[in-house]
Structures are given as structure tokens and as C-alpha cells.
Amino acid sequence: MPSKEHANIQSTDVAEEQRKKLKELFPEVFTEGKIDFDKLRATLGDLVDDRPERYLFTWAGKTEAIRSLQTPSRATLIPCPEESINFETANHIFIEGENLEVLKLLLKPYFGRVKMIYIDPPYNKGNDFVYRDNYKEPLKAYLEQTGQVDGNGNHLTSKLETNGRYHSAWLSMMYPRLFLARQLLRDDGVIFVSIDDHEVHNLRLLMNEIFGEENFIDCIIWKKRYGGGAKEKYLVSVHEYVLMYAKNETVLENIFVPLSEESIKRYYTLKDSNFSLRGPYRTHPLEATKSMGERQNLVFPIPAPDGTEIWPKRQWLWSKERVMKALDGNELEFLKDKEGNWSVHTKQYLKDENGNIRQGKAFSLIDDIYTQHGTNEIIELFQNAQIFSFPKPSKFLKKLIQIGSSKKDDIIIDFFSGSCTTAHAVLDLNKEDNGNRKFIMVQLPEPCDESSEAYKAGYKTIADIGKERIRRVIRGYGDNPKPIEGVGFKVFKLAASNFKQWEDYTGNDMEKYLEQLALFQTPLKDDRRDLDVIYEVLLKEGYDLNSRIEQVKDVTGHTVYRVTDPVRDQSFYICLDERINLEALEPLTLKEDDLFVCLDAALDDTTKVNLDLQCRIKAL
């Protein structure tokens, strides 16, 4: 009999993956499959710090947070074409569900592929939305909370200050999500996290632990409003923060962003004979400051327009060769002061030699976009400011995306997506610069209060608002709607697995025991759709959610699908028929490296042996 290989029915085991990495680095510390910590200490030598008093960041519940991270997910993502736009061809994704479970499901297919993550998590002010994780049965708790199964589970609290572990509960919620976020990032990827003064200090320590303090890039200050009122008791608070970290700062390239129209008009005001190709220019002194080390080769005379020589007070910034080339190209400007002394300035043109507009550096202060801009967008989209309160403005997210992403095929994730401002910003930027960025939005279906304007308008959950915002941006909105042609997005919803789950039974009731045994004969739930099962299999096999699913037309008598992941250039066949005839599969011309997925009971012993000689088989 051929060896039986089963398809995965749960997400990546994070703890097991970490152990594998450790074994690759230090195989000598493993004995009979277990880690020998004495050997590990000896291997690491002086790097091990086990002193009773040492720098340590911890909180009540940290161990449970790690367990929550290490518990594999048995959930799946159910496709919802009816809530999507252009489902078959769309590259953007919206996932409705609890984000920790979703991140676990995304880990295998998107590991090390994401260029940028932005999140706007709960600020933990005592009256905002906070997740409550159950590491023992995370999916069960989520299903109870969203009303998908009976139960009284509830992850949410609106009065967290009544809990004695005010900061600890928030840190325990953030830890596993940030840990998984880091695994998703590319080596040159970055993450931005919005926060305010309530938890910025704890968040900085937490991200130092997960990302490494050496990968801290900056703390961006966002001046979110331009005025204040007398209701403030002490100072008028007008700012929030965005912490920016890199996955690996050593491979992060220099960051440049497009110049704003305002800065172009303000600084690039001069014109010369190079204007037709290089555009306007601004000037900078060629004289070096004292901060630059002495270099004698940068001390030489430059001929002035009147034929005299101009010597630097200390030294020039450029070499003599570069200066002479700039002189020939009319790229230096000479100014004379009241005493008749010449000074030399370099011309910084708006465009390079090829006519491309120069880019600049982003500042760690954003002071030209305000929360009112976000509210105005909600009004323009939904004709009602109360549909979603205090959304981030899409222009704010555009600035961050321009810092964290190029316009290539970057993947951008927001797993606290709210009203989907991030998706809005990605769609707008792609339209503006012909980019091909792809977003993955994740939002818990947090119920809207029945007395709220959102609920009255037909939006039962925050996720409903986010999905509708994406639809309206794609289809066009406002007084002059402009649809984005050829663009769509796929909607998925977190749900229990399509596979019946084995549960250990230790009782004496034979009927219950036989019910468990029946799982081996009919592993799929009765209400499953083929598309649901296919997406669960492809997801847990590590395939992109944008993989192509095509029914093989040449096969008759059976329904066979070919699933292709264009990113990894890999594919597999899947058939969910209850019995399979080997002859019917001949048009597939299966080869040794091909993977064929089917129900275990669909193949009799002879068919299984013969098929195993042709290709790899995975049983469901």
C-alpha cells in the first residue's frame, strides 16, 4: 500500500516552526527531539543572561498571550462572491473575522511577502473596543461572539478600567498579533502602528521586544487637529503617534517620497536655460559647514563671472572635478553681497537629467492633514458623518504608504481596518501613479449599536461599513463619481473548518464513539460547498488567496479543479467526488511532481496504488 499523506486542516504551528528554525541553527542542542537547555546555554556562552535582576519587559498574562499565539487555528476563510466586486479577477482582499485567527491562516501563504503593514488598534482609553482572547478555544469563542454558534461567549468590554489588569490585557491582546505581523513582513518590510499617549510607552517596549529596538525607524507625530476648546482641563491635546519599525533595518533601502505640490511651488521658484528639461530650481550653498571633516582636496578656487577667483572660507562640499562639470552645465549660481563678495550656490533642479521629477525625504511630523478630513470623506461617501466616527483620513494613509511602499506589486495589510481607510488610500494611490499595490483588510464584525446612524442605514457591523466603503470607492462616489475600471476585491469570512473535527472521547457510550469513527468515512460537513473546501485546502497548503481556480473541462464523469498560484508558480488538482474512476483522470496526464487532492474514501485500494505511481496524493 502507498503511504498516505493527509491534507492540512489547521494553520501553521508557530511553536513548531520556531523549533525548526532553532534546530537549523543549533542541531546539537536537540536530544531525542527535545531541546537540551544546558547544551543551548553552553552553545550560546556569555549571551545567556539568567541573572535574577536583569532588564525584562513583562506583564500579567504574558504567558497566556504566548499560548494564544502558539495555538494553531482550525478555522477557514469562506469566499463570498456575492459581497465582492469582480471576484474571479480581483487582487484585493477583505476578510471579515477575528484578526488573530485570520493572521494564523495567512501565515503560511503570505510568510515573508508583505511590504507594509498599517494598523490602528484600540487605544485602550477605557471606553473603546478591546479584544479578549481565549487561547484554549479561540475559534469557538469567536463563533459564539458573532452568533455563529450558540453560547454566551463575549470577547469585548467597553469598561476595561474595571479590570485590574488595565495595561496587561491590552498588551496580551497586541503581543501575538504583532508577532505574527512580523512573520508576514518581507526582509525590507515595515510596519506602522497608530497610537496615543495611553499606551505609546508600552507599545514602544513591546515592539522593541518583537522587532528589536535596532529596527526602530521613527516615531511620527500626527497633528490631528488645528484647534482646541475650553473643555480641555489642562492642555489642548492635538497630536497622536505612529510608530514605524522595519523587519530588518540593515536591508531597508533609502526612503524617498514624492514632493507635494505645495513644496514645489514654495521652493522651486527659479528658472534658467535648463528649464525645458530640468524644470525650476532652488539653491544651496556650496560652502561646507564646520560639521564636515577637513579635506584639503576640497580647497580650491572657483572662477567668478567677473573673472576673479572665489576661495572657500573653509572648504567646498564638492570636488574640483564635480564643480567644473557643474560650471559647464550652468548648474552653479553666483551671488554677490553688499560688500561685493561672491558666494557660490548649487542648483537643485526639480527634475533629473532624464526629466524625472525629483523625490524628497518624508518628515516625522504630519501637520497638514486633520481628523476633519476623514470625517468629510465619510460624509462624501455615505452622506452622513455619523456612519463612522473619527476615521483616519485617506490622505494620511497615503503619506504612510508612500513612505512604506513602492508602486510595484507590494502587498499592504491592515488587520484593524475599521472603515477601510487604508484600502481607500491604496486604491487612490494606484490610480494616481499606475501602481499595482494589493491590500488585505481584516476587520472583526463588531456589532453597531442598534440606535446608531450606521445601524439605521443598514450596516449591522463595522465590517459592513468597511466593505461598502471599498465598493463605493471602486464604483465612484460624490458629485462626480469616477469608477476605477477593471478593479475589484474578494470578500472572505472567518468560519469553522469544512472538515469535521475529531474530538477525544473517553466515555462508555458506544453510539458517541461510533459517531466519532464515522468521521473517517465522511470528513466533510454536509453543508459545505466545493468552493469553500477548495479555498480551505489551498490556504492551508500555502497558496495565495488570489490563486486561480478552474474546472478541468477535459475530464468527464468527474468534477476536477486545477488550482494555480501564479506567485509561486505552483498548482494542484482537487476532486471532491465520493468515488473516483482512474480512467476518467487520464486527460490530466498526471506526472510525478503533480499533486492530486481527493477524499480518502473516494479511492479503492487498487485505484490508490495506481494513482500513487503517477503523482503525489493527499487525502482529505
Residue pair 118/414 in contact (Cβ under 8 Å)? The answer is yes
pLDDT at position 101 is 96
CATH architecture of 72-256+361-496: 3-Layer(aba) Sandwich (3.40)
pLDDT of 141-187, one tens digit each?
A: 666 655 655 554 444 433 444 455 678 999 999 999 999 999 999 99
What does the pLDDT read at residue 34?
80
Residue for grid cell 470578500: 491
Q: Is 207 helix (H, G, I), strand (E, B) or coil?
A: helix
Name 499's bridge partners. 524
pLDDT for res 142 = 61
CA 67 – CA 176 distance, rounded (Å) = 9
**Could you tell me the residue ranges of all domains in the chain?**
14-65, 72-256+361-496, 266-356, 510-619
Looking up cell 528554525 gives 21
The predicted model scores a pTM of 0.86
Query: Residues in the chain with pLDDT < 50?
Result: 1, 129-130, 152-162
Are 395 and 421 in contact, with CB atoms under 8 Å apart? no
Residue in this structure with the C-alpha cell 481628523, named with its chain if needed: 371
Contact 179, 207 (CB under 8 A): no
What whole-number distance in Å separates Cα of residue 37 and Cα of residue 510?
45
Q: Which of the 8 DSSP states describes residue 524? A: B
3-class DSSP state for residue 284?
strand
Residues 6+ apart with CB under 8 A from 533: 498, 524, 574, 576, 620
Amino acid at 87: F
Length of the chain: 620
Report the 10 Å Cβ neighbour count for 394.
24
pLDDT recorded at residue 119: 98
